[in-house]
Amino acid sequence: MKKQVVLTVAESKRLIAKGVAALPQVQKAMKEGMVVVATGTTNGYVLQELWEKDFDLRRYRSGITTPKEPEKAETPQAEAMPDVIFKKGKVAEELNRYDAVEHMGKGDVYIKGANALDYEGGMAGVLIGSPTGGTVGAVLGSVIGKKIELVIPIGLEKLVYSDMNELHWLASTEDSEGPSLWPLTGTIITEIEALGILTGVDAYLYAAGGIAGAEGAVRLLIEGTEEEVDDAVKLVDSIKGEPRYLL
């Protein structure tokens, strides 16, 4: 059985967050180990799902891309939240996203968003503005060396068509201006993986784009048994109307 669903950017972020929270390795680490949720727009949704708490998503973000005159919410943003690191399901307030890796090991999970997605190549890319590499530069060595699982929640809106390593090298030359691009490999979770995790369907990016708030939206073709497809449609319906992310 096949049906189509459309997700706005905000709805995709909510779906991806639910998928990440349902990952078996994330659930296990929440019970038995450590989970780091680095700051980021999509990761704010992930944190809400893991923590089961509602908060202003604007309080848990890092670098953002906006138009010249971004739309703003009616209420001003409150003070930024400190990093949230879970240790056996409880918040370890003494740790942050940088020093947490000192206490982590196999079976633990580090959740970090990204800015570019080479889906076919199985790679993501993070824009780097800091001369020391930002969060990735500070923790990636420990993540790799200690075999910590890197989970990368990222929407299909961030698809690029070039090889991620090639893009990295293009932006690394001395005549290149703007942020650098750090290629990452890990457990990439898009809308496709989230639907598979949560309902068992196979999903395909079928079309993209829209207007009047659906800019960046994705149209997915979903396939599975009648029960699986019905569950997927109900899941998407349940997150319809997720508010847009405004400043």
Which of 92-110 are b and which e, b meaning 16 or more Cβ less than 10 Å from the residue's Cβ?
A: beebebeebbeebeeebbb
Query: How open is the CA angle 112-4-24, to the nearest 5 degrees?
Result: 35
Can you tell me the mean pLDDT for 160-187?
96
Nearest to 192 by CA among 227, 171, 219: 219
Domains detected in the chain: 11-65+79-190 (3.40.50)
Average pLDDT, the chain: 97
Can you tell me the mean pLDDT for 105-114?
98
Can you tell me the mean pLDDT for 70-78?
93
Handedness of CA 195, 200, 205, 211 (dihedral sign): negative
pTM: 0.97
Can you tell me the mean pLDDT for 168-190?
96
pLDDT at residue 105 is higher than 90: yes
- Sorted by sequence, the CB contacts under 8 Å of residue 49 that are 6+ apart come out as 17, 18, 20, 21
Can you give the pLDDT at residue 125?
Answer: 98
Band of residue 207 on the pLDDT scale cut at 50, 70, 90: very high
Can you give the pLDDT at residue 63?
Answer: 87
Which residues are paired to 151 by β-bridges? 111, 187
